[in-house]
Chains A and B, each alone.
Chain A
Amino acid sequence: MSRPEDTLPPDLFYNDPESRKYTTSSRIQTIQSQMTHRALSLLSLTTSSLILDIGCGSGLSGEILSQPSTSGTPGGPHTWIGMDISSSMLGIALEKEVEGDLFLADAGQGVPFRPGTFDAAISISAIQWLCNAETSLDSPMGRLNRFFGGLYASLKRGGRAVCQFYPKNEAQKKMVSQAAVKAGFGAGLLEDDMGTKNAKTYLVLTVGGGEVGDGDITGVVRGMEGVDVLDERRRNARDGKRKRGEEVKGSKGWILRKKEQMERKGRVVKANSKYTGRKRRIQF
């Protein structure tokens, strides 16, 4: 399957015909609305909030945010501010007269809002575009860091962000979540339809200081049906412990093993003593 991210930068890829195709395709509309609803359930908003939509495009997800709570938007209607890099997409959003405010901006250049602005942030199929840098002055890591740094600052304490994205591979998934953690977020990846062609990855981010989930990212999905928690942190800690038990090159155990090996080969090896493998102290 071809990835549009690899062909052109987003502002050029989503030109007028491509934007129209994207917005009018009923298949994309259904998938987008499903993913928006899923993201909203992860945000678990209770009251009418101010939401940032990163990569809002033609406002497919924004339309859902503006709906009242009776039409399936929890806590709605929300007020949202959308930013996107494609002017054609924003043109279509203007034609549709969406309710949110629109910005022509590159998320990889940061988020130009003052600290503590938003209750929540949502991003549907956008941040994989940040993993590509178009000029030699820029790098994917730099773009991700600026984006997550700006996002972290602009969210209020205890706020949440859910970013659905299509990672190219495991490395990209790791790069994105590490950039989020580096910015200060509590980050977790939620995968729907794991291992299938329709896999969807949601990066769930929390800003500390809130009362939700005991400050732990797994608290976000607590009480949700059909979600298995796979704690990478614990696994990494366990792996770390095993590594510590392993033989370190240059240690006494390693030296004894090597000497034994050499002896078996028939080499002349000095006898072992209590001084074997000890550090030579500086002595006068």
Chain B
Amino acid sequence: MKLLTLNFLTCAIKTCKTSEASFPLHPRDAELEIVETDLNLPFLKNILPRLMWEEIRTIASELGLPDLPTTAPTREDLVENNAEVQASLQNQTAESAEPAVEEIPSQTAKDLHRILLETCIKDGKLVCGNCAHEYKVMEGVANFLLPGHLV
């Protein structure tokens, strides 16, 4: 399960819905793996405003991943600025009217892609901070089936 998904998951139990502690779920005994995927810049740009950066940082530190910057990156950070400068320089020399349309992802975008979409929880547990209910994760699939009395 991607860390991106973990940033959206809450506890499924009805009584936890109103509690702030039900988000985020805390990983425990988690086994991580890296699944390489293609970087999708439009998607990153689309999802960025919806991310809860503080929670990503807490989860990353709980998983023992390297520290993330304290402030969330902005959309501008995701695109390589140098590319535009280079393109404009080229334009000045070659006198061509069209600037480069292709946006080049910056290192920030690559890091974000790495942590959100390529880092996956393979096995372990997710624990609700409110009711301490444990959701098992096996082979990347989390079990969110609840017994009838908790629905």
- Chain A, range 68-104, C-beta contacts under 8 Å to B: 77-79, 81, 83, 85, 90, 94, 99, 101-104
- Residue pairs across A and B with CB atoms within 8 Å: the count is 85
Indicate whether B81 reaches chain A with its CB closer than 8 angstroms. no
Which of A77, A114, A138 is within 8 Å of B148, CB to CB?
A: A138
Q: Tell me if B141 and A104 are in contact (CB < 8 A).
A: yes
Of A101, A117, A135, most buried by chain B (CB within 10 Å of CB) is A101
Residue tally, chain B, CB below 8 Å to A? 31
Q: How far is the CA of A146 from the CA of B14 in the complex (A)?
A: 10
Partner of A156, one of B37, B43, B50, B144: B50
Q: Which residues of B contact A (CB under 8 A)?
A: 1-2, 4-5, 8-12, 14, 23, 37-38, 40, 42-43, 46-47, 50, 117, 139-146, 148-149, 151
Ranked 8 nearest A-B pairs via Cβ: A105-B144, A48-B43, A112-B12, A48-B42, A117-B8, A101-B5, A104-B143, A102-B141
The answer to whether A79 and B141 have CB atoms under 8 Å apart is no
CB contacts (< 8 Å) of B23 on chain A: these are 114
Q: Which residues of B contact A77 (CB under 8 A)?
A: 38, 40, 43
User: Which of A77, A90, A99, A110 counts the most B-chain CB atoms under 10 A from its CB?
Assistant: A110
Check A112 against B10 for contact (C-beta < 8 Å): yes
Interface size on A, residues (CB 8 A): 32
A50 an interface residue at 8 Å Cβ cutoff? yes
Instruction: Tell me if A63 is interfacial: C-beta within 8 Å of chain B.
Output: no
* A45 CA / B149 CA spacing, docked (Å): 39
Chain A residues engaging chain B, CB cutoff 8 angstroms: 47-50, 77-79, 81, 83, 85, 90, 94, 99, 101-106, 109-110, 112-114, 116-117, 119, 135, 137-138, 146, 156
In the bound complex, how far is the Cα of B4 from the Cα of A101, in angstroms? 10
Q: B145 contacts which of A101, A105, A113, A116 (Cβ < 8 Å)?
A: A105
A70 to chain B, nearest CB (A): 13
List 22 A–B pairs whose Cβ atoms lie within 8 Å, in order of A's numbering. A47-B42, A48-B42, A49-B46, A50-B50, A77-B38, A77-B40, A78-B43, A79-B43, A99-B37, A101-B1, A102-B1, A102-B141, A103-B141, A103-B142, A104-B142, A104-B144, A105-B144, A105-B145, A112-B144, A113-B8, A113-B9, A114-B23
Cβ-neighbour of A85 out of B10, B40, B117, B145 (below 8 A)? B145
